[in-house]
Amino acid sequence: MYVVRTGCSWRQLPADFPPWQTVYWHFVRWEDQGVTQHIVDVLRRRVRRSAGREAEPSAAVMDSQSVKGADTVGADSRGYDANKKINGRKRFIITDMLGLLIAVMVRPASVQDRAGATSMLLGLYLSGRCRVVFADQGFAGRLVAWAWRVLGIVVHIVAKPADQRGFRVHPRRWVVERALAWLMTYRRLTRDYERQPPISEAMIRWAVINMLARRLTRGHPAHRPGPRPLKRTRRTK
């Protein structure tokens, strides 16, 4: 959490932390065993229950985000998004209707939205979760028919109104767009620094774990409030 929040390298962990090799070893081991995904699932269910929802969502929202790749990202796992004019990687995420992460996948930025969505929807089908997914026009086309015919998943395309001028919040879509904006508040995620896409996915999951944990502890007696603003004092002559 410290690395993903501050954006520092593993070698720059504070001296009062364990050695960075030990921290990274646990990071890789937990990821290989699926521990981080399990933590995300457990916390998401708790947040949904605290909001008066069912533990498992019945509908989801899907979107993608292209981010620049640092010089540590190899040429074999990066690409160029001609639409966004970004050289790096693309993040595909699926969230519930509260904007809580269900699944994440990182691919080269050159991967088309529909191609990435195929793998995402297949994973959603195998997990046995929601069967209704909302997406933007980038996912329209043969993907909608394929998802229904092969997976039994209904993909609703939330189109931009024809008379829209300027910025406007779109129903359903704003939920996942807000979730992507939340990820960009973590310095490690402002661009992709990881050599391998699975490590990028792990970093996103740790950011989500941090957000969900803060959301659950908000208002709890043991939760420490932030620093109080300084009081202005009147000058005396």
Nearest-5° Cα angle at 31, 175 to 74: 80
164 and 134 Cβ atoms separated by less than 8 Å: no
- pLDDT, tens digit, for every residue of 35-51? 999 999 999 999 999 99
- pLDDT, tens digit, for every residue of 47-86? 999 999 999 999 999 999 999 999 999 999 999 999 899 9
Q: What is the residue extent of each domain of the chain?
A: 2-160+167-217
> Where are the alpha helices (H) located in the chain, listed in sequence order?
2-6, 20-32, 35-50, 113-127, 142-146, 173-183, 197-217
- Give the pair of three-digit tokens for residue 47: 């947040």
Would you tell me how many other CB atoms lie within 10 Å of the CB of residue 131?
16
164 and 91 Cβ atoms separated by less than 8 Å: no
Distance from C-alpha of 116 to C-alpha of 107, rounded to nearest angstrom: 8
Give 232's pLDDT tier (boundaries 50, 70, 90): low
- pLDDT, tens digit, for every residue of 85-96? 999 999 999 999
- pLDDT, tens digit, for every residue of 155-196? 999 887 767 666 666 777 889 999 999 999 999 999 999 999
Report the C-alpha dihedral over residues 175, 177, 182, 186, rounded to 10 degrees. 150
Q: Is the backbone of residue 209 left (phi > 0), alpha (psi -120 to 50) or beta?
A: alpha
What pLDDT score was predicted for residue 223?
Answer: 46
Q: Which residues make Cβ contacts (< 8 Å) with residue 58, sequence separation at least 6?
A: 130, 131, 132
Average pLDDT score over residue span 13-23? 94
The DSSP H or E segment spanning 65 is strand 60-68
- Express as a percent the part of the chain with pLDDT over 90: 77
User: At which residue do the structure tokens 């994973």 appear?
Assistant: 123
- pLDDT, tens digit, for every residue of 114-140? 999 999 999 999 988 889 999 988 899
What pLDDT score was predicted for residue 160?
Answer: 75
What pLDDT score was predicted for residue 127?
Answer: 86
Q: What pTM value is reported for the model?
A: 0.87
**Which CATH number fits the domain 2-160+167-217, given the four candidates 3.40.50.300, 3.40.190.10, 3.90.180.10, 3.30.420.10?**
3.30.420.10
What pLDDT score was predicted for residue 158?
Answer: 87
